[in-house]
Structure 1
Amino acid sequence: ILLLMVLLAGIAYLVRVYGVQATDPGQPGYQSVLSLLLAAVSGRGVFYYVSMVSILLVLALSANTAFADFPRLCRAIAQNNYLPHSFATRGRRLVYTQGILVLGVLAAVLLIIFGGVTDRLIPLYAVGAFLAFTLSQAGMVGHWRRVGGKGASRSMLINGLGAFATGVTVIVVLVAKFAEGAWITVLLIPALLLAMGLVRRHYHLVFLEVRSMTPLELTDTTPPLVILPVQGWNRIVKKALRFAFKISPDIRAVHIDCGQGSEIFRDEWCRYVEQPALAAGLAAPELVVLPSPYRLVLAPIVDHVLEAQRTNPGQQIAVLVPELVERHWYHHLFHNKRASVLKALLLLRGNQRIVVINVPWYLDA
């Protein structure tokens, strides 16, 4: 602190001696006071450029402090459920990636809004910094009041005076710089507090809903009703059916009849599914054909699943969704995404009794 005081006093003295005056940051040819002072003292020689590069490195280091500590602060807040838990998770580089990304985006947004002129951010910085000082000093007053002991009254007085002084500074800056950007903090800080409160409330409600203080119940182990959407007979459907037979004898295949090839599929189903199942002494899966004159595919399947869970109140519904898994990125251009959309619709419109199981088929081509 003493070194900073000496440097600040020296700069103030030299600025007065050399008659250096600050220029408008928004004007062309703008230079900082330090740049003008260095040019006045040493000229535009090597020393000037070495000094300016050194100042740049110091500023970069100070900016890096925010990227080092802000993610840690977010981690501490997230561990108390006031921020999404992703802020408390380390990335593969052993840093809190989420906090770094959010800080980078927010910094970029502020620079864009204020036209890249950092001087216009000073009111925001002043309010935020002195508000943090006020809260920390007030927190220490509460700490000494709670802990007590020898010297507690003296410490409370010192921290109380500090909280009062910084609090007055916050009010002065807010009033003086309100129109220059300080109003943003007046809106932003309460909004952040409200958002954090809502995040904590959400996590608390989720905890109350999913927690369990009872042992595992195994009284009802009725196999689920397996529903398998099928559009044709192929190796993917064969794999899904084999898995379905392993988890339940109650299997229902749902085929959407869009007016093309349904009779051919019925014959294939009888030949390739029903007859082999009966020959093996198993109940043949039920084939349900849903007409769709307007060629809708996903909506009838979702409606059928919801109707099945209403008509089978004592049974879980397991929906098997066959899906192609492409090896190369360009393969995604050749196949539709009905399986992914169907899973999303079932998850959005489903309930606790509907289970969605993915049956992948990995393409080798």
Structure 2
Amino acid sequence: MEKIKRKVIGEPLKSSQITHEKFSVFRGLPILSSDAISSVAYACEEILIVLIPVMGILSYKYLIYVTAAIIALLCILIFSYRQTIDSYPKGGGSYIVSRENLGVTPSLLAGASLTTDYILTVAVSSTAGVAAITSAFPVLLEFRVPLTLLIITIMTVGNLRGVRESAKLFSIPTYFFLFISLLMIAVGVIKYLIYGYVPIETAQVAQMQNTIGDMTLFLFLRAFAAGCTALTGIEAVSDGVANFKAPATKNAKRVLSLLFLIVVVIFGGVSYLSTIYHTTAGGDRTVISQIAGQVFGQNSLLFFVMQFATTLILIMAANTAFSDFPLLLSFIAKDGFAPRQFAKRGDRLSFSNGIILLAVAAAILVIVFKGENHLMLPLYAIGVFISFTLSQSGMVMRWIRTKAPGWKHKAFINGLGATITFITLIVISIVKFKHGAWVVIILIPSLMLLMKRIRRHYAKVARQLSLDNNYFPVFNSNAAKRFIVPVGALNEAVVKTINYAKCLSDDITAFHASTDEEETAKLQEKWDKYEMGIPLIVREVDYREVVNPLVDFIENGDFRQSKKDMVTVVIPQFNAEKWWGNALHNQTAMFLRSTLLKRRNIAVISVPFIIENDYDTQNMEKVLEEYTDKECFKCKETEKAQEKKCESEKTEQTDKNSN
């Protein structure tokens, strides 16, 4: 397994190499901006899904107005996050801003919201990527779930290889999408305005002529809320400032500015082309696919190139989450609200535990929702806009508290952003509630509760471990020398374990839980035959269970007088050279160890016995007899030498303790 891991993930990196695992502007743009860039692939479609059933052909007129409103909000968010980058150069985004300015509970709300956001980013982006593939190849529709899981697996492996490796691997597709998208927009506009191309009127467009509704404020807000999926991923750059090369803040702000320019051009361009070519929404073909089919020609080479590029950028959006979520989780873990394993870097200096958790959670979502992208999108936006609102509100409080130069107009911008994002959040929650948004509304508080429970556990552990309690355990020295060896049968592993125990103590007892009278009789016969030199306690059990009888023997006073007395259990542990060999053994030692370690004042020592594949298994009884005759009991000189060695070690230990 270790060899496979090294081939797939790569050799471990030194901690000193962390400075080389940073983004430049060129690498950081595609990795941290791909989520926002990819959102244009389905944001326009989400707007049309709201407008077309009500307004029909008039939807294309108001599509531009909704797009303009979303771009205006984007301007506010970009300005705000530039200020966040300046104020928090170590990253952390909404979570850190909320913690520093709003308190613990708002920060947990931000953390839980971003957690759901990033998990949904991977699930939504991967399924959207597969949707682009199935638009070009409808025959693959029935395989969309396996294809999505395959994409998530590839992204996971790529990110486990480290930040620099993932940047090299995943930056090209983003730039490829940017090039082909700009080409499609340019050709589409020129083809329509200069060459007078007449769009193909499909049956769906013809049906729209009969649907003419009125634009209401609520309908506009619904369309605006749906299209705000184009803003997802904007916070990723401020979350990941720590991943940039020095000067980190300057490079992060450059990436944020480039991101703004790209989203405005591509989102605005795609929306404009949708009004020209009258794309529909909600079918098996995406809006991008329909535009590319009319601009480049259906089934042309560039059409398939566009579909391929769209698939890649949607997959890269998932990579943004793989870059930011583990970093966010490390901040939460350092504060004690998530397991501490998520704060540790892996072999390749990435937060590998967070990467694996993200992949597993996203895969579960894909399976539950059967790879349906539209079913997950209503869940997607809520977490995003909660984090937007908290980040903006936190920055307002920061300006009010610090009163830095120009704080009034900065607070006004952040306050305006907080107000608009909060209104959008309310609209999304109401409109999308029955479509699945209720899941996120329940999930986020549940995650917050879980985070608080984790923090409470760590606080409890810290209090009990603190030396301020003025409690220093003192053990009965005689009782602490009591050793017990669980015995199922007499074999080389048990003999090795007993010999090891003899080097540590003179007070050793062997314990056997009898579940079979015949096997117990054989054990007793061998025990007497080979003169093991320590007492064997046999307890008959009625339910074929060996773990609890040992615990009862230790706890009920037969073996120790007080529960404060230390007892050491020395367990023979079988281990096979090959990984599959362990599955062929019942692993009693593992279960016994896990049970005993939950008891106070019981120490556990495992003595390994490696089962070699090429070991001569013939005449096993003879081998055991020869081993015990020569090495353990019959050879008096060896026995005396062993006793002298053990006595010498005990004397040395006593001298050290006295000194």
TM over 0.5: yes
Q: Distance in 2 between matches of 1:314 and 1:120?
A: 58
Structure 1 window deviating more from structure 2 (332-341 vs 193-202): it is 332-341
Structure 1 window deviating more from structure 2 (130-139 vs 95-104): it is 95-104
Distance 1:179-1:233 versus aligned 2 partners, 3 A rule: closer
Residue 201 of structure 1: CA displacement? 1.0
Q: Distance in 2 between matches of 1:205 and 1:143?
A: 32
- Give the aligned residue type for 1:5: V
Q: Distance in 2 between matches of 1:148 and 1:191?
A: 36
| Partner residue in 1 for 2:535 | 286
Query: 1:134 pairs with 386, 389, 394, which one?
Result: 389
| Partner residue in 2 for 1:43 | 297
1:70-98 Cα shifts (integer Å, max 9, x gaps): 11111111111111122222222332222
Query: 2:504 pairs with 247, 262, 266, which one?
Result: 247
1:243-291 Cα shifts (integer Å, max 9, x gaps): 22222222222234543365665565456446xxxxxxxxx63332334
Q: If each structure's helix is expressed as a fraction of its own residues, which one has the higher value?
A: 2
Residue 194 of structure 1: CA displacement? 0.9
1:29-86 Cα shifts (integer Å, max 9, x gaps): x211122122223322233223333333332222211111111111111111111122
Query: 1:363 pairs with 604, 611, 623, which one?
Result: 611
Contact kept? 2:483, 2:568, Cα under 8 Å:
yes
Residue 147 of structure 1: CA displacement? 1.7
Query: In percent, how many aligned pairs have the same letter?
Result: 35
Query: 1:15 pairs with 262, 274, 284, which one?
Result: 274
Structure 1 window deviating more from structure 2 (124-133 vs 197-206): it is 124-133
Contact kept? 2:475, 2:566, Cα under 8 Å:
no
Residue 197 of structure 1: CA displacement? 1.0
Q: Secondary structure at the match of 1:47?
A: helix
What TM-score does the superposition give when structure 2 sets the normalisation length?
A: 0.48
Contact kept? 1:70, 1:99, Cα under 8 Å:
yes
Query: 1:259 pairs with 507, 517, 530, which one?
Result: 517
Q: Distance in 2 between matches of 1:333 and 1:181?
A: 42
- Give the aligned residue type for 1:120: L
Asked if residue 200 in structure 1 is aligned to residue 455 in structure 2, the reply is yes
Asked if residue 344 in structure 1 is aligned to residue 599 in structure 2, the reply is no
1:305-360 Cα shifts (integer Å, max 9, x gaps): 22246524563111111232222345446544332332233234xx2211121122
Q: Name the Cα RMSD after superposition.
A: 2.9
What TM-score does the superposition give when structure 1 sets the normalisation length?
A: 0.84
- Give the aligned residue type for 2:567: I
- Give the aligned residue type for 1:305: I
1:125-149 Cα shifts (integer Å, max 9, x gaps): 2222221110110111121222223
For residues 32-181 of structure 1, the aligned pairs below 5 Å read: 32-44=286-298, 45-181=300-436
- Give the aligned residue type for 2:404: G
**Unaligned ranges ≥5, structure 1:** 275-283
Distance 1:100-1:255 versus aligned 2 partners, 3 A rule: closer
| Partner residue in 1 for 2:282 | 24
Contact kept? 2:346, 2:352, Cα under 8 Å:
yes
Q: If each structure's strand is expressed as a fraction of its own residues, which one has the higher value?
A: 1
Q: Secondary structure at the match of 2:453?
A: helix
Q: Secondary structure at the match of 2:484?
A: strand
Which structure ranks higher in relative contact order (CA pairs < 8 Å, sequence separation ≥ 6)?
2
**Unaligned ranges ≥5, structure 2:** 1-259, 616-659
Distance 1:124-1:297 versus aligned 2 partners, 3 A rule: closer
Query: 1:353 pairs with 601, 604, 625, which one?
Result: 601
Aligned residues: 349
Query: 2:552 pairs with 303, 324, 330, which one?
Result: 303
Contact kept? 1:259, 1:293, Cα under 8 Å:
no
